[in-house]
Amino acid sequence: MRIRLDISSFQTGGERSEDCCKGPPVSRDTCTEGPTHLSDRPYSRASGGKTRNLKCRSQATFGRFFEAACCCLIDRRVRPPKQYHHDAHAHSHLRSDVKKQHKKSTRPLQGHHPVAPEGVAEQGGGAVQTLVLSVQGMDCATCSPKVIRALLTLPSIQDVKVNTFTGQASMTYREGLVFPPDIAKRVTEFTGFVCTVLDDAQLSGKVRLLRIKVPTCTGSPREFPKLPPGVVILETSRTASSMTLDVQYDAAVIQPRTVLDIFVPFGGSFLPPSRSNASAQIGRENFLLFRRTLISAILCIPVIIFSWAPLRPHPIQYGAVSLFLATCIQIYVGAPLYSAACRALFLQHVLEMDALVVLSSTTAYVFSLVAYGMQVAGHGFSTPFFETPALLLTLITLGRLISAYARRRATSALDGLGSLQPELVNLVSTDGATATSIHVDLVQPHDVLRVSANTLVPTDGVVSRGSTQVDESALTGESRPVDKAPGVLLTAGTRNMTSCIDMEVTRAPAENTLAELTALVTRLQEARLPVQDLADRVAEWLAPVILAVAIAVFVIWVIIGLRVRGEDTKRASLAALRYAIAVLIVSCPCAVVLCVPMVIVIAGAVAIREGVLFKTATAVQHAKNATVAVFDKTGTLTFGNMTVVEARILREDAVGTVLALASESSHPVAKAVAEYLRAAYPHISAAPLPSKVQSLTGQGLQVTVDGVQVRGGSPSWLGLQSEPLYSVMMQKALSMFAVTFDTEVVVFFGLSDLPRPSARAAIEFLQRQGIQVHIVSGDAPPVVGALAKELGIPSARALGGCLPTAKVARVRALQTAGARVMFIGDGTNDTPALAAADIGVAMGGGTDAARSAADVVFLAPDLERALAALFRRSRGAVRRVCLNFAWAFVYNLFAVLLAAGAFLKVRIAPEYAGLGEIVSVVPVVLVAWSMRFLKY
């Protein structure tokens, strides 16, 4: 999203290039043929075809003017064949309607000189960047296609996602082909929405952004010392007294406070980032929409009274007041609709519902204006109906206000997550004596933070000093406080309840659990189901179809009036006009477009409160279809807190090496072995290892020490099934961990793990649902069989000794047999199976790899409760989507028939047709919101 700057190219005012005759370079997107410099072009048309060699200064001036004129003409009139390729999955239905245009001549931000890499124009642009725009003014569910169409007219724009709930649009683009300010300007020009580039960049991986303020007296950016690897100054802005630097750094290479220390000798200080508050922005937009609706209603009420109330007959006076009020409504309330309709029609070449509203209200207003003028002149031919355009626009605006408010309420989950991240933290000094308040963005791994009682935990970490109780209900839904002692994990966003503690940071705030959840919830709001493409296509064709129907209705009623009823032309045309206006207004595509996203967003928000996080919209749709549930054992059906219950140390001199080997792994078995050895042999420390330990997923660990191959892991991998100790521990159904020096066994451990209290209830719940339950585990088959027997799972469905490939093979075999497989796991070795399953479910306490591969994450430790919420919300969401689609179809069909006069005794008058926006949208919103109050 950021523009890379060549800092050495900054020039003071009045300086210019020595070779001024060369002129500014022009992108191939601006002029596809001919020389790449304006000064190389012959400007001969003004002089009868004769080329003139102008002076340097005049040529440059005319060249810039000619370039600007060419850009305007190319941008508005040239429609070349499609030549840019966009994401084939997202919004493919819009591409056929988008007329690709050449890119406008790009220009840098004021005071900045972005420099594209050499050969960018010839090679098709620089690196791919991500951009997020704030789009203000999207008050209707059908606004997102407008933004998408506008963005797809620019080169290199891909992966466009518009979130009408948060008022943001994200996309990717290539540096050098288009610049962020031009992207925002294009959206504003084509849609009328206020579009700005968000300050907070979306950077990939561990790339972060730090904003640093430096006094101007320190000089220009090029005077700073050479920056270390991984640090780049992206953007600079100046004021009279200071200079602001946007510094990008790689958190995998360098930490934030180290980056800040580079600029401290120059007077540099950290500037907290501007927290983009999408909810506040949407709240302001809703307030403006509410104000417009209220003013419209105030102006509309007298018009209705003058038209319908039994008052003394003063048609001229009443008409004058009605004309004035209706004109105010047309100008103030109708202006955004007129702007949107004209931009869509003339810039995007699309006929939308806004155009139908404008056409019908304008027709009614102009007809009433002419009728009133003729009435004043004494040649009245019809009674003006100013109440029709006034009430129509008022009701349309009211319907959009209700729809906007509903979308605002649907984003409450993001509001709640954002409020759980504190901005300031207390950093404990190295000696532990003092604590200094710093901004949370300056926190880095291995820092020690002090968390006072009744405050939020700022990021993920472990308790290093003190004990307390923590309320985790905001993330897991569990209301009971959880005890925390030294060494126990803490999660960002939870609340420390009782005592002051110190914690060691394990994950930076930018990548902690809270940041991860916020990103996933935002992604869910942007996610699309395949049925949404169909809904958008239906909404796209609705306006042209309704316009055709309205014309047909007008013609039919004119014929009926003349031929059947024997009316004169004036009366028949007036009646037909009212029917046509009603048809134009009464249909509403908003209900069709809102059917899916409103339900998905609310289902995700409600599920989070119950400890279930849907990562994708397809997971919401398909979770209910699972017919087989496959569980991992350790950490899923059991706590994963392994304890050593039997140990055989065959060589005590090997304890130090074994401790070092086990300490290199985060697997529950290795951690339990390391903890046991530290407690049993406190006088022995871990031996230094000459090389890095190699971890073999699903098997064990190995390293070479002084020419001896040291391996630790399951006895089956080590080939120890014939050992007597193996048989003894197998009979006790213990998990086993052994270490060998070459072929010599030096230690043998037997470990046990307790099943989760909710595991049996979870299995029984699935069996009641008719879902077949399996266990696949890397543990020994007798251990897996014993757990399966305890949980009520048939032994034939409990497989032990499974490597990750065997777990995937089991999932594939079940899918081949026609099953819809849900896999529930927590470890890195479960990642392939989670990705292969139809629905992958990861435990919240699992590894990052498992959570990344899964479609659903269980935040709550209660398996039965989480599974019940998963199926309940999936079924409820699909049921509501179907109900909403049925309502949208039935409403639009019968509303058009009623407005067209198909039912002779019942019809919708044009002044009431604006209620269609409310009548169609409100049921869709209520059906979606019912998930907050109903279990099914």
Query: 219 pLDDT exceeds 70?
Result: no
In eight-state DSSP terms, residue 755 is B
Helices and strands (H, E) in the chain, number of each type: 29, 31
φ, ψ dihedrals at 666, nearest 5°: -100, 5
* Region of residue 137 (phi > 0: left; psi between -120 and 50: alpha; otherwise: beta): left
- pTM for the whole thing? 0.67
**Per-residue pLDDT reduced to its tens digit, 374-394:** 888 887 777 788 888 888 888
896 or 531: which leads in pLDDT: 896
Q: What is the mean pLDDT of residues 602-630?
A: 89
With contact defined as beta carbons under 8 Å apart, do 420 and 316 qualify?
no
- Looking at residue 244, its pLDDT comes to 85
**Per-residue pLDDT reduced to its tens digit, 805-862:** 889 999 999 999 999 999 999 888 888 999 999 999 999 888 878 888 899 999 888 8
With contact defined as beta carbons under 8 Å apart, do 236 and 245 qualify?
yes
109 or 258: which leads in pLDDT: 258
* Mean pLDDT of the chain, nearest integer: 79
* Alpha-carbon gap, residue 308 to 317, rounded angstroms: 15
Confidence of residue 277 (pLDDT cuts 50, 70, 90): low
327 or 852: which leads in pLDDT: 327
* Alpha-carbon gap, residue 301 to 304, rounded angstroms: 5
Q: What is the mean pLDDT of residues 439-460?
A: 91
In eight-state DSSP terms, residue 549 is H
Q: Please report, rounded to a whole number, the percentage of residues in the chain having pLDDT higher than 90.
A: 22
Confidence of residue 168 (pLDDT cuts 50, 70, 90): confident
* Alpha-carbon gap, residue 596 to 893, rounded angstroms: 20
585 or 468: which leads in pLDDT: 468
Query: 110 pLDDT exceeds 60?
Result: no
For residue 162, give every residue at least 6 positions away whose Cβ sits within 8 Å of its Cβ, in sequence order, or none: 135, 138, 144, 147, 148, 168, 169, 526
Query: 22 pLDDT exceeds 90?
Result: no
Flag the least confident range among 12-16, 145-149, 325-329, 567-571: 12-16
Q: Please report, rounded to a whole number, the percentage of residues in the chain having pLDDT higher than 70.
A: 82
Q: Strand 772-776 to strand 628-631: parallel, antiparallel, or no bridges (unpaired)?
A: parallel
Q: What is the mean pLDDT of residues 752-764?
A: 89
Closest listed residue to residue 383, CA positions, set 301, 300, 304, 307: 307
Query: 878 pLDDT exceeds 70?
Result: yes
